Chains A and B, each alone.
Chain A
Amino acid sequence: MSYGWMGNLLHVNLSDGSIKEVPLNDRIKEDFVGGKGFGARLLYDMVPESADAFSEHNALMFLTGPLTGTLAPAMRGCAVTKSPLTGTFVDSYFGGDFAHEIKFAGYDGIIITGRSPGPVYLSVTPEGIELKDARDLWGLDTLKTAARVREAVGAHHAPKVACIGPAGENKVRFALINCDPNRHAGRGGCGAVMGAKHLKAVVVAGNKGVRVKRGSGFMEAVNGALAEMKDNPYILAFRNDGTPGSVPFADLEGLLPSYNYRGGSFKQAHKLDPAAQKSEFWLRDAACFSCPIGCSKVGMLKRGRHRGLVTDVVEYESAGMIGSNLGIGDTKAVAYLTYLCDALGMDSISAGGVVGFYLECAERGVWGNPDHRFGDPSLVERLLLEIAHRSSETGDLLAEGVKRASARIGRGAADWAVHVKGLETPAWGVRGAPGMGLAYMTGDRGGCHQRAFPILYEVGGEYWKSAPVKRLEIEGKAEIVSELQNYLAGLDTLVKCDFGQYGISATSYARMLSEATGVDMTPSDLSTVGERIWNLVRLFNCREGFGRQHDSLPRRFTSEPLPDGPAAGHMLDEESCGKMLDEYYRLRGWDAEGYPLPDTLQRLGLMQGG
């Protein structure tokens, strides 16, 4: 009998069509727990050095954690693969129902290897597991694909779908995987890997139950977590305003990217905030599976060109990257463009990054049509379509991401290509938040705000270890970043939701995990698991050739002072970056080039076989 975990991974090799169950061993359960941990261990072991992310040698995994599928509040799943955008390990998280359904089908994860000769989808239902012809689905957008696949399997099964759109099929390097219902494994191009494997969709329905070891203890732990969340001001803010609640804060603090990150505030930010969204379309709260927060909002556009469109909240990241970063201060337009990204199957963060990059190229007369300007939703719509279908020279170029596009354009374009390790950065400027800069530099999948979010302490006023944090200080930021990275990587094994963790204590997470699995773990054990994962992922990235020179920030952040907001005039020069990095490597037990030292690996049990 297995508790928390279902006890098996499902491995499907698309090259030869073989399907097998792989039992989880105790070692991987205890050392890596689930989610990101399983992904780190398996990707390191399964994907050979320097494998092309689009080749049959890459693996794509959908992973859950021991708390996924239970009443533990706000749990998710993740997709893990070698990123075609960065060449690093990538883990991309998705809410909704899909991850939970993997557990109900009896698995802790689905591993896809090889490459199918033609378009297929994987069907996992109580009637059996099979690869089915997907030629008639190829070309459909994500929403139509999911509907068609659900229909094919049969509504009586209540199946859940993960699928790609045209962007994934065309190997747009930042294509996403759309997971029921319209939640996304967005970052790092997991959808492009799926497209390269000719896997249009995965559909899952299961009758098995997730069993917990100590039922009453588990419910006590769950109720404890719920009680913590109930009056937590962050949780209440997510409930009331969703993630766009951060728009006014970021705008005021000079953290909101505008005009391809040139600015840190946006005159029309108030047209993207929760009040604007409420007045244009919100009708109700929506929640992911087993989440008591309900940070998503669903509604119908009531005015304008796209009147009648049913769509979700414009998340903060989309408001920032498709809105302010492209100079668009119109909720209706941004809601539609974000919907279009979802339907085409592209990450709206990277999409906003590449379009912003292109518009600056055009404005400077370096590439594209010199009449193209920021602030034009119709132009952005055309560009998104051209990118997803690679149907124009510009679209085909931008589908490669800003790093490759800027290298191909030349003429100094790399100076305004805003990315770290090839991953377009999210909607948080870092020139007025050095710790956030370090988090971008050292993010395991490239420029990412989810591996550590020191802005909360630097700008948000939260105390770090009972003391206030000086916003522009360089020293001490490495400790915040490395400890947050370890802690959050630990929680990414469960698999936690980024927003849920604002309200749930480490003690509650550890307790829910222990009661569910019967394997007792403390908060500090979880952080150690996180540190182990962080080092193993670093080993993977080092094996792919990454090192200190890649732990860097784009020129925009290091050499161009922020023009607006309370930190106006500031930037993160090379010297400051170097100092933070030295301190960070020292705390991590890595050498000056950023390679984990043998003692560190020994301490974390990573010396053998990794």
Chain B
Amino acid sequence: MVEGLQGRLGAYGRLTIAQVRSQAQYRVSFVMDVVASAAFALLDILSVLVLFLVTPSLGGFAPAEVLLVAGLAMVGFSTADLVTGNVERLRHYVRTGLLDAVLIRPLGVLPQLLAIDFAPRRLGRVAQSLLLLVIALSVVDVSWTPQRVLTAVLAPVVGTVFFGSLFVAGATVAFWWIESGEVANAFTYGGRDFTVYPVTIYAGWFRGLFAYGLGFAFVAYYPALVLLDRPDPLGAPEFVRWLGPVVAAVAAGLAWLAWRAGVRHYRSTGS
């Protein structure tokens, strides 16, 4: 059993390495890819900071506080993107029938897909968002307690699991609707953009849907409130800010169910 697991992990590892090497073959393009990816992360942050050129606060939060929310959101998102982001290529595999080749191998379908499209350039993005989080944490001057240390460590993990589940669940749409195109992006990248800002800037049913219905408020906003030692301007009870791990676990469970149903539903594309 252990030997089988080791063999399988070895196979995933070799698939990943093969992918990295094949990408590095086109050297100029690869270097530009890495540079663009790093620049993207930087500009993501700049697109938040640029708002403070015209306003001193956003939704009642000071620049450094927004930066903390953004840092928590981006660490979770970029790590999930590194590990599971390429699953969005699933619709390409379903459309062309290439998924058949993946299905007949004696390995898990999801880990194989993650390995064969692994994009190492995304590592730069993870590093940059971690740096942003560290900077934000030092600027807002957190008075550290065991609870807050736990929050600072757990929140990125919660974010990774949560966004990873979204990537997987979003990709499974392709099993039923091949032409779904960018619909999943509305919730993965859209969710990232939502999470980067304090929930207080949104209003009405849109806030209700994204913050609580889909759970994005628990990724960065509530952990940030814990770290900042601020009451929730929206008046949610105290325990709500600790619900992150529960929300992430539920999301992972739902994504797993959706994936299993999708693979079972898959009937190839013929011809």
Partners in one complex: no
Interface positions of B (Cβ within 8 A of A): none
Interface positions of A (Cβ within 8 A of B): none
